[in-house]
Structure 1
Amino acid sequence: MSLASSLALSAFAEQTNALDLGSAKAPFRLQRSVTLGSGTGAGKADRVWSDRRTIAASGADDLDLAGVLVDAFGSAITFARIKGLFIAAAEENTNNVVIGADATSPWATLLNATGTVVLRPGAACGFMAGGADATAYAVTAGTGDVLQVANSGAGTPVDYDILIIGASA
């Protein structure tokens, strides 16, 4: 089975200022992208997992990146390296979606063991390794393989979309 992936992050803003004889514009742009071939080395990936998930009020999703997630064809996935991680909180959420800081076996190569990213309703984030990066974000089966995604509060569930692209070795 082969995998072709294209990952991108992009932002654009343009500030304008009215002047006596016209207006001035200052554009700002930040773009990064990487195309990954099929495989396990630098610039390659061979595993992908995606889902739309719901977390109960005050609950958490502990996503085991090594051997528990199941791909679109029903096979268990073991990530050894994460090349791209994209998460989007649903616009309709009342509570925040909190990423990171699992107490048991945290996947610490992105956010350290206790770091978190908070996604307010409708917010999204993306992380990706560069095309020449053979290490990427390592997963250590059994001791450093759980990505926690949690609901920040009581009362209502939260929904989120997630896409993980990585390599098996």
Structure 2
Amino acid sequence: MALSSGATVAVSASGELTSALDLGTGRAQQILARKMVLGSGTGAGKADRIWSDRRTLAASATEDLDLAGVLLDAYGSAVTFARIKGLVIAAAAGNTNNVLVGAASGSPWATLLNSTGVLTLRPGAFVAVGTGLLDATAYAVTATSADLLKIANSAGSTSVTYDIEIIGASA
């Protein structure tokens, strides 16, 4: 099964800095925006796999998401990523605890966060990662030795919920 029309990852941040001046107000608009539109396929600028889910972890629980052959897509078919080209993870605003991402104890998917890196997503926080359109390598996944993305609940008091979407290629 392939993506029929590709996929898009987009993010933007903007704001305006103002300062009172003698004869008016100075304004400096700040904008950073990126958008990646991937065609259908496996080469540079293309993707053929997508997986998304809303997941809940019990207090102090962890899970290792196996990026190579265990996740099931919307139709119940196994998804095997060889390369990750887009990743979005969002912690639910109603969480009390943080959602921790990265640093699986065995076979960690280390091309994004290295083998020990951890992102902390506070309640309501999100992270989005996209590769460049000319990047054929992207974030490589190696089945059985470098394919586990760990997600953890930071504390033992309550459960946490998070949404995740992964876009990538099978080759």
Mark yes or no: TM-score above 0.5: yes
Cα offset, 1:20, TM superposition: 2.8
What CA deviation, in whole Å up to 9, does each residue of 1:32-90 have, x standing for no partner? Answer: 11110000000000000000000111111210000000011110000000000100000
The equivalent position to 2:108 in structure 1, one of 106, 109, 118, is: 106
Cα offset, 1:7, TM superposition: 1.0
Q: Where does the alignment leave 5 or more consecutive residues of structure 2 unmatched? A: none
Could you tell me which amino acid in structure 1 is paired with residue 98 of structure 2? N
* 1:6-17 paired onto structure 2 within 5 Å: 6-17=8-19
Q: Which moved more, 1:28-37 or 1:39-48?
A: 28-37
**Match of residue 90 from structure 2:** 88
CA distance in 2, matches of 1:96, 1:106: 20
CA distance in 2, matches of 1:7, 1:121: 22
Residue 55, structure 1, aligned to residue 57, structure 2: yes
Cα offset, 1:2, TM superposition: 3.7
The equivalent position to 1:36 in structure 2, one of 29, 35, 38, is: 38
Q: Where does the alignment leave 5 or more consecutive residues of structure 1 unmatched? A: none
* RMSD (Å), alpha carbons: 0.8
* 1:1-169 paired onto structure 2 within 5 Å: 1-3=1-3, 4-169=6-171
Runs of 4+ in 1 over 2 A off after TM superposition: none
CA distance in 1, matches of 2:158, 2:103: 21
Tell me the TM-score normalised to structure 1 length.
Answer: 0.98
Identical-pair percentage: 64
Number of aligned residue pairs: give it: 169
